[in-house]
Chain A
């Protein structure tokens, strides 16, 4: 029903597909002959709906096969847009007017799956599967490569990026740099001729960034790839690139040539446009008027009330070498993150171990370390927004307004935390929630918005701003009410020299008037300005204990487990009266004990199986009692009737509590497609979405945490609850939609658009255990049906 019957005949770049012939007949460069990966762009014009001016307008460009191009330009110049156009991916997740042609070796870009490999900025944005092997195999699956040929292809791709991990390594367990190298491996598995990289190292620490650059250079060499890299920061790529292309704010090519020549000729003007040119001195934060931050409003407000950060008083200043008075503190903090495993077990991994940081009045503290080392977690601990296993943090019990007066927090993703409908209102959210003087705050908001270049957009909808603009707005909104501390997660990512100078100007002005600033960052220019630097290393989690003794049910596949759970419905419905329901429930309980027992194998038994089933029964228990109560109320206070109602629900729910935790999303996809022959693409989309399920907890925490910090949390009454609920709903949906759009681009770059006849990395066998599960689950249903028929 959902199959895509026609996509095979659809060009991805529909506008371009019809208009153009490949630009033949031009003098080919020497290295062009015989090699693949020649890219020709002719008259490319792209205007997304909703914008008056095109982002790209009449662009012409020829990239000879094997050339390495560094693509630069100020924010909003259309670099990423051009990169996606080169892959034929412009219309995957946006709609607009497209004309002109993009061809690769004479063929319309996007028409051969995998001709172009794409690596996105955010590590993990393009991850499709739960394990490393399956993720690399995604492209080969889409083009129908036989399963027997896949392991060799996958091994070769992983070896090329030097990712020597077992194929069943969870993709979520990789560092940011490893994840980017996995993305490159995923592209290489389709043997591309062109590799496109969209700021591949922007979110990585220096070591991981260097490893990714080395990998790019190595695979480009070995596979003779035409390579196009979009970057803000040119320095590290200058030696790699043969050619530097610079776009201006209007999407026109303004400089084109060997990198050193272009930089020698245009370096100053490029720096003036905001491009991070190698060799240029770090920009200076733009100073704000002395009056920008004046009388401390929140301090006045809270004067005379209780100390809003009581824990902090306990930290003796002698214990650390800093100068400023500590406003926030996290000492010897240990934070565990719980991961859900198959079977409902959870495994604790260390997010932070023995970490200490202070936010000091008038000082800038930088938290640095590789991705996964817990920088964001330490910020949350400083904000008192996260439970810790050990150590002392800022008071976690502060009310929302007290918390807002004490500190502001700018999370990495500010788009899902926007609450107002204009930029100016968004900047004033917290000061209004705290009831501060509107005139003073409005004037300050104007000063700050002017400083970061957003004043002209003050009436625009903040959700329509670019990511970089939203980040700057979030910093302004954090400081208008002048809290005592600012915590910011990577505040300078994606900023060019000009916007960097403006946003750091605001932060520095705030700090100079006594604000405590703590940032997590990879940005050396920020680290250089810090008074204190906290270096984090990735905490060593103890290796999980190998459990070789698995419960019997874990041998069954997803389909039989779901069938077993669903067979409880006829069992519940058919049971005549509470006595028979009790018998059926007893049969189910016996089967559950057998299914959850471990037979054979060595090593430790999985712990807490019974407890987990009990925990998962809690909602069902409440639901059944509710049904029983309402039945009792209606049925003339007949206890028998009520008991029947209660037991019916329990019979329906109990098998699910036992069986459903053992359903693995990837295996479910395998079985739905290969056993039930459901259409492949919807099944894969479902598996890809399900394996992101665990990220939603963090999104929820970010949305609710951000509301608390902004003074919007904790208010009572139906209105406030409705506002919180709708903010959470919309925030979750916005982030899901954004993730879906990014993933769509990555998946189409790997041939998913035309993958109606795909092959599968893993088989989906129906085992004896599956048959046993289904037959066993049929027993209680049979008992109930026979009892209802009067046979028993």
Chain B
């Protein structure tokens, strides 16, 4: 039968408070590990596809103002945000983004194994976002923060790897644009995506799934 029935809230919750992962926080369940790993693989495939499709819009933006390419770079920041939002344990964001980077590198991508470096820096940034909130908040604000923070380390790395010939003004503009786009695209869209998955019943073993069911409760 349908599980579309209303649940009685079993935990009293304040408005806007996040449901957290089961304690202890580092007590990764098997399903936590596998979910982050499988999400990473799925995002890795999407990243790889995006690497083939992003060239045209990216070059278009470059013709207007080169640092605007930060906008087309932002989708690559999403895996860390979503991994962190779903599992809500320390390391989830980094682990998810790293696996996505590994998968993206396997079929041969624009950047080869350099995606591993990017994945580590982006994932670390998102991880810092969740960490400064003490792994205690996973709402839209936290997602935006994690999305934004996944950008700066990557931007600084790209200065020396890809944008060596830019002046400092362009470099800073690129970092700012990538950060803003990361906040909106990786953070905002990642949050929406997580909510959509939870609403679809795909996250029942995780806090976001529980939040959806609590929200429906009368």
Closest to A625 in B: B55
A655 interfacial contact with B, CB 8 Å: yes
Closest to B200 in A: A463
Q: How far is the CB of A573 from chain B (nearest CB, A)?
A: 5
Please, how many angstroms separate the alpha-carbon atoms of A622 and B56 in the complex?
11
Q: Which of B3, B10, B106 contacts A464 (CB 8 A)?
A: B3
Q: How far is the CB of A767 from chain B (nearest CB, A)?
A: 20
Q: How many residues of B contact A (CB 8 A)?
A: 79
Interface string of B37-73 (1 = CB under 8 A from A): 1111110011000011001001100110010010000
Whether the pair B45, A732 counts as a contact (CB closer than 8 A) is yes
Whether the pair B30, A52 counts as a contact (CB closer than 8 A) is no
Known: A49-B204, A562-B116, A565-B113. 17 other contacts (CB 8 A): A1-B91, A2-B91, A10-B27, A50-B201, A50-B204, A464-B4, A469-B2, A620-B110, A648-B161, A652-B114, A655-B112, A682-B28, A682-B37, A696-B42, A730-B193, A733-B42, A744-B35
B213 interfacial contact with A, CB 8 Å: yes
Whether the pair A619, B5 counts as a contact (CB closer than 8 A) is no
Please, how many angstroms separate the alpha-carbon atoms of A692 and B59 in the complex?
34
Q: Which of B24, B41, B52, B164 contacts A692 (CB 8 A)?
A: B41
Whether the pair B30, A752 counts as a contact (CB closer than 8 A) is yes
Whether the pair B164, A648 counts as a contact (CB closer than 8 A) is yes
Interface string of A619-654 (1 = CB under 8 A from B): 110110011011101110000010011001100111
Note all chain B residues with C-beta closer than 8 A to A652: 111-112, 114, 161
Q: How far is the CB of B216 from chain A (nearest CB, A)?
A: 7
| 10 nearest A-B residue pairs (beta carbon) | A656-B112, A616-B108, A565-B113, A623-B110, A689-B37, A744-B31, A685-B33, A50-B213, A736-B38, A740-B38
Please, how many angstroms separate the alpha-carbon atoms of A734 and B91 in the complex?
22
A688 interfacial contact with B, CB 8 Å: yes
Interface string of B189-218 (1 = CB under 8 A from A): 000010011011111111001100110100
B6 interfacial contact with A, CB 8 Å: yes
A18 interfacial contact with B, CB 8 Å: no
Whether the pair B111, A7 counts as a contact (CB closer than 8 A) is no
The prevalent SS among residues of B at the interface is: helix
Whether the pair A5, B26 counts as a contact (CB closer than 8 A) is yes
Note all chain B residues with C-beta closer than 8 A to A661: 106, 108
Note all chain A residues with C-beta closer than 8 A to B7: 49-52
Closest to A743 in B: B34
Note all chain B residues with C-beta closer than 8 A to A6: 24, 26-27
Whether the pair B40, A689 counts as a contact (CB closer than 8 A) is yes
A648-671 residues at the B interface, CB under 8 angstroms: 648-649, 652-657, 659-661, 663
Please, how many angstroms separate the alpha-carbon atoms of A464 and B117 in the complex?
39
Whether the pair B99, A686 counts as a contact (CB closer than 8 A) is yes
Q: How far is the CB of B151 from chain A (nearest CB, A)?
A: 19
Whether the pair B110, A653 counts as a contact (CB closer than 8 A) is yes
Interface string of A1-35 (1 = CB under 8 A from B): 11111110010000000000000000000000000
Q: How far is the CB of A769 from chain B (nearest CB, A)?
A: 18
User: If the complex has contacts A51-B7, A737-B203, are A656 and B90 also in contact, measured as CB distance less than 8 A?
Assistant: no
B139-181 residues at the A interface, CB under 8 angstroms: 160-162, 164-166, 170
Closest to A656 in B: B112
Whether the pair B3, A51 counts as a contact (CB closer than 8 A) is yes
Q: Which of A49, A573, A622, A690 contacts B160 (CB 8 A)?
A: A573
Q: Which of A2, A97, A753 contacts B29 (CB 8 A)?
A: A753
